[in-house]
Each structure stands twice: as C-alpha cells, then as structure tokens.
A and B are shown apart, each in its own frame.
Chain A
Amino acid sequence: MRHSHYGVLPVSIRQNSNILFVLACGFLFVGCDAFSPPDAVFVVREETNQLTSNVSNAVEAELDNSFGNPHQLVAWLKLPVDFGGVMGATEESTLEGPLNKFPVTFDTEADEKFIAQFQNDDGDFKFGESGARLDWMTGEYAGKSMQVIGYDAETQLLTTKEKVEVPPAAGDTFVLSAGDTLKSGRALYMEHCLHCHGVSGDGNGPTALYLNPRPRDYRLGQFKFKSTKPAEKVRQEGLGRVIKYGIPGTYMPSFLLLEDEELYAIVEYVRWLSMRGELEYRVDQELVLASGLTNKIIAERKADGDDSEEIQEEIDEAVANMPVLFDDLAGQLAESWLLAEEEGSLIVPAVARVEDSFESRARGRKFFLEKCTNCHGHKGRGNGSMTEDYQKNEETGELYAEPGLFDIWGNSVKPRNLTQGVYRGGRRPVDLFYRLYGGIGPSKMPNFATTDPQILWDTVNYVLHVPFETPGEYIEVDKEYFESKKKSGGDEEKAADEEAATTETKQTATGSTESSDQG
C-alpha cells in the first residue's frame, strides 16, 4: 500500500495500489480443430506443484488474481510496469441530473498521450466504434468501467455512453484504455517471442528444445546482458537493445524493424512476465524454505509424529496469509525494478576509454592473466581449467554431474571464446565495460566493479584485440608477468607452471589489484 510511487506510469496520482484492471480481450487462435494449437496458459513452477495442495492452490489462485491468464490479463498497479492507458481526473461540474458528460483534466504528459491516442488529423476526437474504455480508480464509481464516446476540447467535457444519476465528484481519477500497452505487448509477444520463450516466459516454447544456448527463462527476474550495477535488475532500454539488435552467437535474432512503440510494448510485457515469474519463485522460496510446506517435508514431519492438527493450522495460516505475502514480495520486487531505472543504477565509466595501444593492451593482458584465464583460457579460447573441472551446484551443495560451468538456470555455459570476435552483449567498448564492471551474474562471470576503471578499459582494449592477435604478440608481457609472480609468490616451481600460477594469482588477487590501482 505504501508504494504509491510509480516511476513509469503516465501520471503519478496517489491511488489505492491494489486496484486491478481485468483486461478482457478477444484473444483467438484461428485454426481448424485438428490443428489448433494447445490453449495458452501460464505454466506453474515445479516448486509450486511440490507444495501441499491447499497451499499450491492458494498460490495459483493468488497468481491468477494478480496477473490473470494469457486470455485475460490483469494489470496490478503495484508493479512498476507501464500497462498503458491515459490517466485523468474529473473537475468540478455544474451540470445536473442524469448526465453522461463531465469535465476532466489531464496533466501535461497524459494530455499529450491522450491527444496522440484519440485525436485524428482533423482535430476531432474519436474513440472507436464501441467507444474507449474508462476505468474509475477512485470515488463513487471506483472499480467500475464506462465507455467514452466523445470529448470536446474546448469545454473539456468527456462524453460517456452510460448516463449516471450522481455525477462523479471533482478529483475522481480514472484511466482511459487501461492496459493498452500490455495488450499490444501480448499480441506482439505471441507473434515474435512465444515459440522460443514460451507463453509464460519460461524459455520453454516449442522450438526451445532445439536451441543451444537455451532461450532465456525470465522467471528468475535475471538477465545476462544489462547495463546496470552487479546487483541491479535490467533496465527498460537494456532489454530494448537486446530485442532490437539481437544477441549474436545465440538464436536471439534482431527485431530492428519493429516500431518504437511495438518494441516498448514487448519490453513492458517481458518485464511483466518476468515480475510474475519472479514473484511466484520468491513466494515458493518463502513457503518451501521458511515454512516448509511441501508435500515431502509434511510427510516427513507426520512420520516423525508431529501433531497433524498443528500442521493443518500452519497450512491454513499460510493460505490465509497468501494475499499479504504476495503484496509484501511484490512490493520488494517493485522496488528493485524501479531502482534499476534510476540514474544511479546505470554503469557509467568513471574515466573515458583509454586509448587503444600496445601498452594499454599489455596492461589488459596482465589483468586478463590474473583474473580471466581460469575460465577463458590463456589464449582467450574459452577453454580455461574451470571448464574441465566439476563445479559445485550452489543450491544443492553437490557437484554437477558434468564437468564445466553452469548458469543459474542449470544450463551448461561456455566461457566466451574471445578469438571469434562475437560479443553477445554488444561490441561497443561500453558494452564490454558493462560486462567487466557488472559481470554476468546469472552465468557466474564475476564482476569487477571495484577494479580501477583504467585497468578495465585496458582489458576492454585487450579483449577487443584478441581476434587480431599476432602469434607471440604478448610473449614478453607474459614472461614479465610470470616472473613477477615468481618473485612475489616465492614458489618457483608453481610459478613455472602456468595453470598453477593463475591459481596462485587468485589467492593474491586482492593485494595485486590494489597495487595496480595505485599504478
């Protein structure tokens, strides 16, 4: 309730944050029966299914209540998503009796939007054949909707189809065409994205099976290529860039030909799906880890002789508490997505790019030898020792069945082969700077946010030059590096071995970073 701050909504009117708009919309798959595709549904997480039935039903019901289903979306205003629509408020009216006209005002931004959306070239206001939908947010008619059929710019009178006895009070707020953006985002998503990313954004569409790397599962709220600081979410324009320019080296194609509004609608829909998915994930985490309400744990407790009435009480409490849990977690989520849009979350290099020169690249090479070779290998071929090792799964604490690295989605991930000159997150120097400074959290590439930006630029210069390296270009640099390691490390045998040398580097990493900071 306290989160009445909606950074991306068109007007910041204080309102009851729990108002839900049900965006009913004809959403048809056309096709003959024999070939009609399966019905579009939002799939439920595996973790939700593992919850005891009462609780999982409550989670599903609450999800349905807050987000709806693909045919009927719900715009939950608690989430920082631009659902679309124009917000306005009523003015003091002198008109009386059963009426369908009342004066309204829009703030500047909403006014522009209103005009752009409804005024035609002749200067007339048109609201389509059946009128535009108006949802009341506050006052007498809060929660009700009407159809707007006319507007007079001079008197600022809005005409609705319905006549009402009591005119809306001055200051009552409403939304026109609520959810337009989300709805068009849905249509575009279904056209362009669904077959890989799936209806729910779980990265499990019909074609996903045949793709390597797998399409992104948005439901953890995590994205690999972003321009924000390590802990922050992705920004709108960051997602927009990925959609617009694609991700070379993966199956994500470029959607450059989409109009800006279309792109924006898709971004908002993806963000919304991501919020929906992450909310479910967090709710599950809460119910599994904190409350232990899975079938398995409950069965164990019963077997241990726990009072089944007590357990039932816990379940009932969790079910009754579900709306509050959703509200709390959605609030936290909303804050983190809003934070990402703030100026301070964007990575801005503290210094300009260091000019590309052999000296700069040599410094970058040293940093690379120190920090990057375990994964990317000594020649940047993406074949470092970590790719041969068995890694520990941080969630289960056990080793993965296969050697190599894994991302948070559990997919095998290969450190980039830098000799190919394919940069998934973009090839501008600033893109590579983002990767180094912010890391790639989901695939476990560490961030170097605390490293001297000069050194990061040196490394960017080095990395950009790897595809064009002449054999032995850095032989002197390497020699110098390993010799200095030998001296500072003291263990000659270790230092002679390249592999071992980098392991050692890892241990002395902090100290040497500081020294390079000063240098």
Chain B
Amino acid sequence: MRWFWLTFFTVCPIAAVVLCVVAPGLDWWFPGEAGSPLGERIDSLFYLILYIVTGTFIGTQIAMVYVLWKSSKKDDERAWYSHGSHNLEVIWTIVPAGILLFIALYQMDVWAEFRVLSKFPKEARKAPVAEVMARQFEWRIRYPEPGRTLQIQQQPTDLYAVNELIVPAAKPVMIYLKTQDVQHSFFLPELRVKQDAVPGQIIPVWFEATKPGEYVLVCAELCGWGHYKMGARVVALAEEQFEAAMEKLAEEQSDDGFADAGESDDE
C-alpha cells in the first residue's frame, strides 16, 4: 500500500506537468489555432495564465515534497504551527494579489481592443460590413449595397441574407449585433469572438479572419428550446471575391424572374 500511494502521488504531479507542457501543442483547449490576430493575443493570455499556474503548481509541489521528505527523517523535532502568523498571511495575500493585478493590467489593452469602440481598428469602425440580427432561432443579416455604408436604419437598397455572414478576409471588419427577441450570443470559436446580443442594444463587434475560409458561427447563450438550431457560418473571402459575392447577392436580391425565366428557380 505504501508503494501504491508513493507511486500515485509521484505520478499525478508529473502527469499534470507533462499535460501542461504538451497541451498547447495538442489543440485541446482551443478550437484550432486562432484565426485572427486578436485571437492570437487572447490565446497568448490564456497561455500566460497557463504558465503562471504551471509554475505555481511546480513550486508548491516541490516545496511540499521537500517538507515531507525532510521531516520524515527527524523523529525528535517538534512541529512548528504557523496558524495565525501575520507575516505569512501578508505574504500569501500579497503575492497572489500581485499576480492577479499583473494579469489584470497585462490583459487590459487586449480587452480594450476587443470591447472598447474607440480602440477598434479605424478602418473597421469606419465601414461596418453588416448588421447581424439574432432571433429565435437564426441569424438575419443585413448588408449595405456595395459602395454604400451601413446605416442603423434600414435602407431601400440594403441586401439581406440569413445564417451566412460574408466578410472580407485579412482585414478588420465590424458588425452591428442586435437581437429581435431574447438574449443571444454571437460566438465565433475559431476567431475567439464571443459577444452577447442584448435586446434593445446595438453592439458593435469587430474581428479579423486572417485567412479566407468558412468559420463556425453559433449562439452561445441558451436562448430557448431551439438554441441548438442557431448554427450558421461566417465566410471570409479575399477582397475581390467578397466584392463579387456582394454583387451576386445584389443581383439575386433584385431577381425579377424575367430575364432568366425558367432557370432562376433551381435554388
């Protein structure tokens, strides 16, 4: 039995440390690599916390093992009770507080860039690409007509889509997030974006898909029985393709069923 516990308490911390080290390489905690520059910085914050926690873990384990090992040899020495030691209390309050303060300050600019409108990249702020209206249980999207800017109010020339948000890749884009009914949450796991949609509010959200491709868009706020239905996609396209896609959307939107009669209905 002695050997069992000995092995157990040796293996567990070692396994924990090994896992901490290999985790980043195994894509365990993140849904793939961050697809956006800000996402990478958010990830690096997670890694920073991982390093701090791992370091703390290793330090405390070593200290504990040392104490156990050392005191197991001495039968005659009396134990020292640290309860009520003012100095120790101060130390273990100040050290973690210092670490937390450091994390709080360190992440501030990332957080500000993610959430504070005035810190958003200028080009994204200037030209929001779309309004995303969450509703039970889908995402309704409104784009400005190519060449125009998105207005808060609906415009006669606006383009509409559902469950597919097309954005240009490799540049910061901003959307206006709204909800028609209850609270939803706009979640792009691969781009590390998660923002609640709150009734009555228009919330600007920005992100940048580094590479063109399809990204998952889901609702991350339990919004009703059909919550699971709110799966959609964000399609990031190279600038030219994005423009072409908008033109195509505009064309579909103005379909009068006449010019290509007989072929238009095969969607």
Measuring CB to CB, which residues of chain A are less than 8 angstroms from any residue of chain B?
A: 192, 195, 207, 227, 235, 237-238, 240-241, 244-246, 248, 251, 253-254, 256-257, 343, 346-349, 351-353, 421, 427-430, 433-434, 457, 464-465, 467-468
Contacts and interface: CB of A to CB of B under 8 A. Distances in A.
Given A254-B138, A346-B262, A430-B256, 4 more contacts: A251-B136, A427-B253, A429-B255, A468-B155
A430 B257 contact: yes
Contact of B261 (A238, A348, A429, A434): A348
B37 to A, nearest CB: 27
Contacts of A468: 154-156
Contacts of B211: none
B18 interface: no
B265 A346 contact: yes
A348 B266 CA distance: 14
B162 A254 contact: yes
Interface string B137-175: 110100000000000001110001011100000000000
Which 9 A-B residue pairings sit nearest by Cβ, starting from the closest?
A430-B257, A353-B256, A256-B163, A253-B138, A352-B258, A254-B162, A348-B261, A428-B255, A429-B256
* Highest count of chain A CB atoms <10 Å: which of B231, B256, B267: B256
A257 B265 CA distance: 19
Given A348-B261, A348-B262, A430 B255 contact: yes
A425 to B, nearest CB: 13
A240 B160 CA distance: 18
Contacts of A428: 252-257
A473 to B, nearest CB: 13
Given A246-B138, A248-B140, A352 B265 contact: no
A352 B140 contact: no
B226 interface: yes
B162 A246 contact: yes
Nearest to B163: A256
Contacts of A257: 163, 231-233
Contact of A256 (B155, B232, B255, B258): B232
B255 A195 contact: no
A245 B163 CA distance: 8
A427 B163 CA distance: 16
A181 to B, nearest CB: 18
A468 B266 CA distance: 31
Interface size class of B (residues with CB under 8 A): 20 to 34
A464 B253 CA distance: 12
A227 B256 contact: no
A129 B225 CA distance: 38
A410 to B, nearest CB: 25
Contacts of A251: 136
B162 A467 contact: no
B258 A353 contact: yes
Contact of B267 (A244, A248, A464, A465): A244
Contacts of B90: none
A421 B267 contact: no
A353 B138 CA distance: 31
Interface in B230-247: 230-233
B226 to A, nearest CB: 7
B225 A237 contact: no
Given A253-B138, A428-B252, A351 B258 contact: yes
A195 B256 contact: no
Given A253-B138, A428-B253, A433-B256, A237 B265 contact: yes
8 contacts: A237-B265, A253-B230, A346-B265, A348-B257, A352-B256, A433-B256, A457-B256, A468-B154
Contacts of B233: 257
A227 B265 contact: yes
A241 B265 CA distance: 9
B259 interface: yes
Contacts of B232: 256-257
B257 A421 contact: no
Nearest to B154: A421
Contacts of B231: 257
Nearest to A457: B256
B258 A245 contact: no
A349 B256 contact: yes
A491 B138 CA distance: 52
Contact of B258 (A237, A240, A246, A348): A348
A363 to B, nearest CB: 17
A46 B164 CA distance: 42
Contacts of A347: 257
B61 interface: no
A429 B254 contact: yes
A207 B225 contact: yes
A352 B259 contact: yes
B267 A241 contact: yes
A235 B262 CA distance: 13
B264 interface: yes
Given A245-B162, A251-B136, A253-B137, A464 B258 contact: no
B119 interface: no
A237 B255 contact: no
Nearest to B164: A256
Contacts of B225: 195, 207
Contacts of A195: 225
Nearest to A437: B257
Contact of A465 (B156, B163, B255): B156
Contacts of B126: none
A464 B137 CA distance: 25
Nearest to A354: B256
Contacts of B253: 427-428
Given A237-B266, A248-B140, A257-B231, A427 B160 contact: yes
B229 interface: yes
